[in-house]
Amino acid sequence: MHAWSPLRHGIFRAMWIASVASNIGTWMHTVAASWLMTTLAPSPLLIALVQTATALPVFLVALPAGAAADLVDRRRLLLFTQTWMLAVAAVLGVLTLRGTIGPWWLLGLTFALGLGSAMNGPGWMATVPELVPRPELATAVALNSVGFNIARAVGPALGGLVMAATNAGVVFILNAISFLGVMLVLWKWRPNAAARTEHHTNFVDAMRGGMRYVRSAPVYHSVLIRSGMFGFAASALWGLLPVVASVQLQSTSMGYGILLGCLGAGSVIAASILAPLRSRHSADRIVAVGVVLFAAAMALLAVSRVFAVAAVATLAGGMAWLTVMSTFNVCAQTAPPVALRARALAVYLLVFQGGMAIGSGTWGAVADHFGAGAAMLVAAVLTIAGLSTIKALPLPSPMAVAHPDAVPVG
């Protein structure tokens, strides 16, 4: 098995290509929305609220979204959420092009777009095991991470170019168009009957069932606790990289884009070498190597004053990030039973995103008082300290997990 083998499966290949295009549109949109707010209301609070409006829906609807993805036809739910996001992005684009957009309209529509994304997340993750054979799931998850990192590297730069040539409204319209590819693939996809979700419980009982599984499954506790801890510490790199680029390295926005590109390139390199390693090493060993490499990358960024050295550090960081997160993701996707998969993944997303959100604020506050370099060094030490949980909270081997239908609900 090689790194790109899941792309041999037509439905996964189509989903992957469509999702990369859609994620590029999303990153273009994110840059445009933040920049537009600086022209509508140059208030640091309102500019910061753009990111809040994007992230807050995850905390509000992740659990209901997971229950919905397990109760209803998942394909139809995903078609609905993609249509919702297309419509919101289109409205935002039209209002911007007409010159009638205001700061609160921008925040409200950004929040609405975030709601669609939060509703889409658990169902989207839960579909991946249905698209490829089980032995190729880990590789497929790694490829999805590669696609996301490609979009993260390309989207902001492309969004900046389009805005420079036109305006933010055009970027919003392009983001709306980017959802069409995903919708087309979903429309043509026909899930196996065996993978259909349950229909014989009500919404409240479904949420309770999901939480009951999470509480009673020690194997899932390991994934949740360790991914949350890693997300909290590792968020320092993502949150402080712009500060390192502009202040510490005295670079420009182009330099920041290059560093983001190195992160994306690192993820591609990691994906190409992880597939054969997974068959020979445990999930814990792979995560441990990734964690050490990520901590080393943060420490190198913390002390570097040379751009080339920082580029090497971010390349290594991208490799480490994909190594760790793809392993956590595949454990999270294979451990729960099929009937509860989306609900369990909703909790996983909530814990990880919560760790990232809290961590970003924490490291930002530390950087305000002691500098970005000091904050990154502390985060690197904390990242390494997380390895102390390996014995107490071992990760399941994806191939050793019982078939999802056989995992007890509790």
Q: Which CATH architecture has domain 1-191?
A: Up-down Bundle (1.20)
Which position has the higher pLDDT, 282 or 360?
282
Please determine, for residue 399, whether its predicted confidence score (pLDDT) is greater than 70: no
Please determine, for residue 197, whether its predicted confidence score (pLDDT) is greater than 90: no
| Structure tokens belonging to residue 110 | 């950004």
Average pLDDT over residues 367-380: 89
Domain ranges of the chain: 1-191, 210-395
Q: Is 3.30.70.3270 the CATH classification of the domain at 210-395? A: no
Average pLDDT over residues 288-310: 94
Lowest-pLDDT range of 37-46, 298-307, 316-325, 361-370: 37-46
CB atoms within 10 A of CB 140: 25
Please determine, for residue 407, whether its predicted confidence score (pLDDT) is greater than 50: no
| pTM of the model as a whole | 0.76
Same topology for domains 1-191 and 210-395, yes or no? yes
Q: How many CA atoms lie within 13 A of 165 on its CB side?
A: 8
Please determine, for residue 200, whether its predicted confidence score (pLDDT) is greater than 50: yes
Quote the CA–CA distance of 74 and 210 in Å, as a whole number. 16
Quote the mean pLDDT of the chain: 83
- pLDDT tens-digit map of 118-137: 899 888 888 887 888 877 87
| Structure tokens belonging to residue 246 | 């502009």
Query: Residue 408's pLDDT is what?
Result: 29
201 pLDDT tier (thresholds 50, 70, 90):
low
Please determine, for residue 35, whether its predicted confidence score (pLDDT) is greater than 80: no
Cβ-proximal residues to 337 (8 Å cutoff; 6+ apart), any chain = 213, 404, 405, 406, 407, 408, 409
